[in-house]
Amino acid sequence: MDHGEKRLMDKNQESLFVRLIPFFERYGILLLILIMIAVLHLLQPDVFLSWRNVTNIFKQVSWQSMLALGVFMVIVTAGIDLSVGSIIMLSLMGLAIASKAGMPWYVVMLVAPAIGFLCGMFNGIGITLLRMPHPFIMTLGTLYIFRGIGNLISGGVPITGFAEQIRVIGNGKIKLDAFFGEGAREYIPTSLILMIVIFFIFWVFLNHTRIGKWIYAIGGNPGAARAAGINVDRILIVVYTLCGFLAGIGGLILAGRTNSAYPNAGLQSELDAIAAVIIGGASFFGGRGTVLGVFAGVMIMGILRNGLNLMNVSVFWQQVLIGSIIILAVYIDVLRRQLATRT
Amino acid sequence: MSDNLVLEAKSVSKFFGTITALQNVDLNLNKGEVLGVVGDNGAGKSTLMKVLSGLYKPSEGSLFFDKEKVTLNSPRDSQNLGLEMVYQDLALAGNLPIGDNIFLGREPTRKLGPFNFLDHKKRKQLTEEHLAKLKINVKSADQKVEELSGGQRQAVAIARATAFNAKIVLMDEPTAALAVKEVGKVLDLILNLKKLGVSVIVISHRMDDIFTVCDRVMALFQGTNFAESELKNTSRDEVIGWIMGKKD
Q: How far apart are CA B10 and CA B12, in angstroms?
A: 6
Residue A144 confidence (pLDDT) above 90: yes
Which residue in B52, B95, B148 has the most chain A C-beta atoms within 10 A of its own C-beta, making it the best mutation to test that interface? B95
- Give the nearest partner residue to A229 out of B96, B105, B120, using CB atoms: B105
Q: How far is A160 from chain B (nearest CA, A)?
A: 40
Beta strands per DSSP E along chain A: 159-160, 173-175, 187-189, 260-261
Contact residues, A window 166-205, toward B, CB-based 8 Å cutoff: 204
Whether residue A229 and residue B76 make contact (CB cut-off 8 A), yes or no, is yes
Instruction: Tell me what percent of the residues of chain B surpass a pLDDT of 90.
Output: 56
Q: pLDDT tens digits, residue range B39-94? A: 998 899 989 999 999 989 999 999 999 999 999 998 888 988 999 988 766 689 99
**Helix, strand, or coil here: A241?**
helix
Q: What is the pLDDT of residue A12?
A: 55
Do the strands B216-221 and B224-230 form a parallel or antiparallel pair, or are they unpaired? antiparallel
Q: Which residues of A touch B106 (CB under 8 A)?
A: 228
Q: In sequence order, what are the residues at sequence separation of 6 or more whose Cβ sits closer than 8 angstroms to the Cβ of residue A338?
A: none
Contact B35, B210 (CB under 8 A): no
Question: Angle A265-A270-A274 (CA atoms, 0-180°, nearest 5)?
Answer: 150
Q: pLDDT tens digits, residue range A96-141? A: 999 999 999 999 999 999 999 999 999 999 999 998 889 999 999 9
Residue A21 confidence (pLDDT) above 50: yes
Neighbour tally for B2: CB within 10 Å: 8
Whether residue A217 and residue B74 make contact (CB cut-off 8 A), yes or no, is no
Q: Which carries the bigger pLDDT value, residue A19 or residue A85?
A: A85
Q: How far apart are CA B6 and CA B190, in angstroms?
A: 18
**Helix, strand, or coil here: B119?**
coil
**Helix, strand, or coil here: A159?**
strand
Q: What is the pLDDT of residue A4?
A: 47
Whether residue A208 and residue B96 make contact (CB cut-off 8 A), yes or no, is no
Whether residue A288 and residue B95 make contact (CB cut-off 8 A), yes or no, is yes
Domain ranges of chain A: 42-342
**Helix, strand, or coil here: B145?**
helix
Helix-helix angle A190-208:A232-258, to 10 degrees: 170
- Give the nearest partner residue to A209 out of B93, B94, B117, using CB atoms: B117
Q: In sequence order, what are the residues at sequence separation of 6 or more whose Cβ sits closer than 8 angstroms to the Cβ of residue A329?
A: A278, A279, A281
Whether residue B104 and residue A287 make contact (CB cut-off 8 A), yes or no, is no
Does the domain at A42-342 match CATH 2.40.30? Answer given as: no
Q: How far apart are CA A189 and CA A208, in angstroms?
A: 29
Contact A140, A79 (CB under 8 A): no
Q: How far is B50 from chain A (nearest CA, A)?
A: 10
Q: What is the pLDDT of residue A343?
A: 47
User: Average pLDDT of B110-133?
Assistant: 92
Q: Which residues of B touch A225 (CB under 8 A)?
A: 93, 104-105
Q: How far apart are CA A233 and CA A58, in angstroms?
A: 35
Q: Which residues of B touch A230 (CB under 8 A)?
A: 104-105
| Residue B144 exposed, middle or buried by CB count within 10 Å (0-12, 13-18, 19+) | middle
Whether residue A227 and residue B85 make contact (CB cut-off 8 A), yes or no, is yes
Q: In sequence order, what are the residues at sequence separation of 6 or more whose Cβ sits closer than 8 angstroms to the Cβ of residue A194?
A: A62, A169, A249, A253
Q: What is the pLDDT of residue B180?
A: 83
Q: pLDDT tens digits, residue range A149-193? A: 999 999 999 999 999 999 999 888 888 887 887 777 888 999 999
Instruction: Tell me what percent of the residues of chain B surpass a pLDDT of 70.
Output: 98
DSSP state of A263: T
Q: How far apart are CA A28 and CA A302, in angstroms?
A: 18
User: Average pLDDT of A22-35?
Assistant: 79
Alpha helices in A259-314 (DSSP H): 269-279, 291-310
Q: What is the pLDDT of residue A131?
A: 86
Q: What is the pLDDT of residue A140?
A: 97
Which residue in B104, B140, B158 has the most chain A C-beta atoms within 10 A of its own C-beta, making it the best mutation to test that interface? B104
Whether residue A229 and residue B116 make contact (CB cut-off 8 A), yes or no, is no
- Give the nearest partner residue to B93 out of A212, A229, A287, using CB atoms: A287
Q: How far is A287 from chain B (nearest CA, A)?
A: 6
A228 reaches B (C-beta below 8 A): yes
Q: Which carries the bigger pLDDT value, residue B119 or residue A341?
A: B119
B56 reaches A (C-beta below 8 A): no
pTM, entire model: 0.85
Distances in Å between the Cα of A257 and the Cα atoms of A61, A170, A186, B13, B109 are 11, 4, 18, 63, 40
Q: How far is B230 from chain A (nearest CA, A)?
A: 31
Q: Which residues of A touch B109 (CB under 8 A)?
A: 210
Contact residues, A window 103-132, toward B, CB-based 8 Å cutoff: none
Q: pLDDT tens digits, residue range A253-290? A: 999 999 999 999 999 999 999 999 999 989 889 999 99
Q: What is the pLDDT of residue A18?
A: 67
Q: How far apart are CA B64 and CA B70, in angstroms?
A: 6
B55 reaches A (C-beta below 8 A): yes
Q: How far apart are CA A326 and CA A318, in angstroms?
A: 12
Q: What is the pLDDT of residue A340?
A: 64
Q: pLDDT tens digits, residue range B138-187? A: 888 899 999 888 888 888 998 998 888 889 999 988 888 788 888 888 89
Contact A94, A107 (CB under 8 A): no
Beta bridge partners of A175: A187
Whether residue A221 and residue B93 make contact (CB cut-off 8 A), yes or no, is yes
Distances in Å between the Cα of B103 and the Cα atoms of A217, B76, B90, B117, B159 are 11, 13, 14, 14, 10
**Helix, strand, or coil here: A322?**
helix
> Which sign does the torsion angle of CA B60, B67, B82, B148 carry?
negative
Q: How far apart are CA B154 and CA B101, in angstroms?
A: 12
Q: What is the pLDDT of residue A10?
A: 52
Q: How far is A108 from chain B (nearest CA, A)?
A: 29
Contact B189, B155 (CB under 8 A): yes
Whether residue A229 and residue B79 make contact (CB cut-off 8 A), yes or no, is yes
Contact residues, B window 91-130, toward A, CB-based 8 Å cutoff: 91-96, 100-101, 104-107, 109, 115-118, 120
Q: Which residues of B touch A214 (CB under 8 A)?
A: 104-105
B67 reaches A (C-beta below 8 A): no
Report the mean per-residue pLDDT for chain A.
90
Q: What is the ipTM of this complex?
A: 0.84
Beta bridge partners of B220: B225
Q: Which residues of A touch B119 (CB under 8 A)?
A: none
Domains of chain B: 5-94+166-243 (3.40.50.300)
Q: Which residue in chain B is spatially nearest to A221 when comparing CA positions? A: B93
Contact residues, A window 276-295, toward B, CB-based 8 Å cutoff: 287-288
Nearest alpha-carbon partner for B183 in B163, B213, B161, B160: B213
* Beta-carbon pairs below 8 A across chains A and B: 74
Q: How far apart are CA B195 and CA B14, in angstroms?
A: 33
- Give the nearest partner residue to A213 out of B75, B76, B107, using CB atoms: B107
User: Average pLDDT of A220-228?
Assistant: 91
Nearest alpha-carbon partner for A245 in A289, A304, A201, A211: A201
Q: Which residues of B touch A208 (CB under 8 A)?
A: 117-118, 120
Backbone angles phi, psi at A265, to 5 degrees: -60, 135
